[in-house]
Each structure stands twice: as structure tokens, then as C-alpha cells.
Amino acid sequence: MISASDFRNGITIELENSVFQIVEFQHVKPGKGAAFVRTKLKNVKSGGVIERTFRPTEKCPQARIDRKDMQYSYTDGDLYYFMDTETFDTVALSKDTVGDALKFVVENEVCKICSHNGSVFSVEPPLFVELEVTETEPGFKGDTATGANKPAIVETGAQVAVPLFVEQGDKIKIDTRTGEYLSRV
């Protein structure tokens, strides 16, 4: 159990039969009346955000989120298969659970599988990936006064904005959180 006065950003709590992560919190001490804690909570399973106030003495159970490294093996229809690299057990996850977390992930890449009480609710891809550009138009010199971008399609089928000098067949580094081009490899 954790009291509201001990809330910090990133802590996960169980509330109303759901798991929430504290996105923002603020201890408020009005001139008149009792102090309270104003929070913004994100539901880790659905992604919805709610605002809620707590008395500083209120307690709620702290949720334990398990993150396990698993290797993305393959896709079969609407199922995505992941393998535990230690025990070689295979887990199949639905398209709804995965979402677009695998937009920049190729087969055999290691991802983090997040679960609560044995129930998997999300997949976290690696922060940075190196992918090959499979399709892009040639860039023309002298077109810009500042750095310009053009669309490129990488080997996973995702589209990324890249600088004009990137050509088809180049390997590029991408930030999976934002989908931005970082550098050529």
C-alpha cells in the first residue's frame, strides 16, 4: 500500500479494478480547508487518462508491472509470436494487444512484454532500431535553404521522413518512440 502523500511520477497503482500510472501529481495546501493531492492517472491497459484528487492519508495498493525481454519471432494472421530467450517458451499476442508497437520492429528483435498478474497488456519495442530503406525518391541538390526531408519506406513497411541525401538501400537509425530519423548507419 502506498499513501497519496508518497505519490511520484511513474508509480503504478491499482484503483477501481484497473492499473494506473501516475503521469502528474501536485500537493495542494489551500489557505482554508484540508490539503489534498491532485493527480493525472493513465490507464496502462486502455491508455485513457483521468484526473483524480486524493486526501494525503488515503492509501491504495501499488501495482506490480512485470517487464520481460522476449524475442519477436513471426506473425501469423492476427497473432504475433514472441519467444522467451531463456526458457524458449512461445507466447502468442493478438493484434489488439500489440497495437502499432511493432511498426519499426523486424523479426528476431528483442522487445519488452509488459504484464500485470500474468495478463499481458502491452509490448515495448527497443528505443532505437536500424532498418534498411527499401523505397525513396532521389533528392535534388539546391532545392532548399534549410534541411529538407522526403518520405522513405523502410523494410517493415513504415514511412519515415528522411533527409534528401538518404538513398534506397541505406541503413538508417530510427527512434521508435517518435518515428524520427536519427542518422545513417
Is a pLDDT exceeding 80 seen at residue 140? no
Mean pLDDT, residues 47-56: 89
Q: What is the b/e burial string over 126-158, where b = at least 16 CB atoms within 10 angstroms of the residue's CB?
A: eeebbbebeebeebeeeeeeeeeebebebebeb
Q: What percent of the chain has pLDDT over 90?
A: 12
Q: What is the pLDDT of residue 173?
A: 92
Domains of the chain: 2-60 (2.30.30.30), 66-124 (2.40.50.140), 128-184 (2.40.50.140)
Where does the pLDDT of residue 144 fall: very low under 50, low under 70, confident under 90, or very high at 90 and above?
A: low
Is a pLDDT exceeding 90 seen at residue 40? yes
Is a pLDDT exceeding 80 seen at residue 137? yes
Query: Cα–Cα distances in Å, from 57 out to 30, 34, 52, 54, 179?
Result: 16, 11, 15, 8, 42
Is a pLDDT exceeding 80 seen at residue 139? no
DSSP state of 113: E
Q: What is the pLDDT of residue 53?
A: 92
How confident is the prediction for the chain on average, in pLDDT?
86
Residue whose cell numbers read 492499473? 19
Of 95-104, 158-167, 175-184, the poorest mean pLDDT is in 95-104
Alpha-carbon distance of 72 to 70, in angstroms, equals 7
Where does the pLDDT of residue 38 fall: very low under 50, low under 70, confident under 90, or very high at 90 and above?
A: very high
